[in-house]
Amino acid sequence: MKATNNLETNDFVAMDIRQSLHYLGEITGVITTDDLLANIFSKFCIGK
């Protein structure tokens, strides 16, 4: 059970780090709104 909880905790930490890096990219201009939208819609199959 501890291993499962640890994995879940690691997943949340990784998610927080990834989100923080994304926000820093938006602030510095490395990631644009167009990049964000392209990333979101690349994961969905719309109209196919």
What letter represents residue 5's amino acid? N
Does 48 fall in a domain?
A: no
Residue 10 confidence (pLDDT): 83
Residue 9 confidence (pLDDT): 84
Report the domain count for the chain. Answer: 1
What letter represents residue 42's amino acid? S
- Give the length of the chain: 48
Does 10 fall in a domain?
A: yes
Q: Which residue has the tokens 């602030």?
A: 27
Residue 1 confidence (pLDDT): 43
Give me the domain span that covers residue 14: 2-42
Per-residue pLDDT tens, the chain, 48 aa: give them: 455 567 678 888 888 988 888 888 888 888 777 777 787 778 776 665
Residue 33 confidence (pLDDT): 73
Whole-angstrom distance, CA of residue 17 vs CA of residue 1: 25
Residue 41 confidence (pLDDT): 78
Does 47 fall in a domain?
A: no
Q: Determine if residue 7 is left, alpha or beta; phi over 0 gives left, psi from -120 to 50 gives alpha, anything else beta.
A: alpha
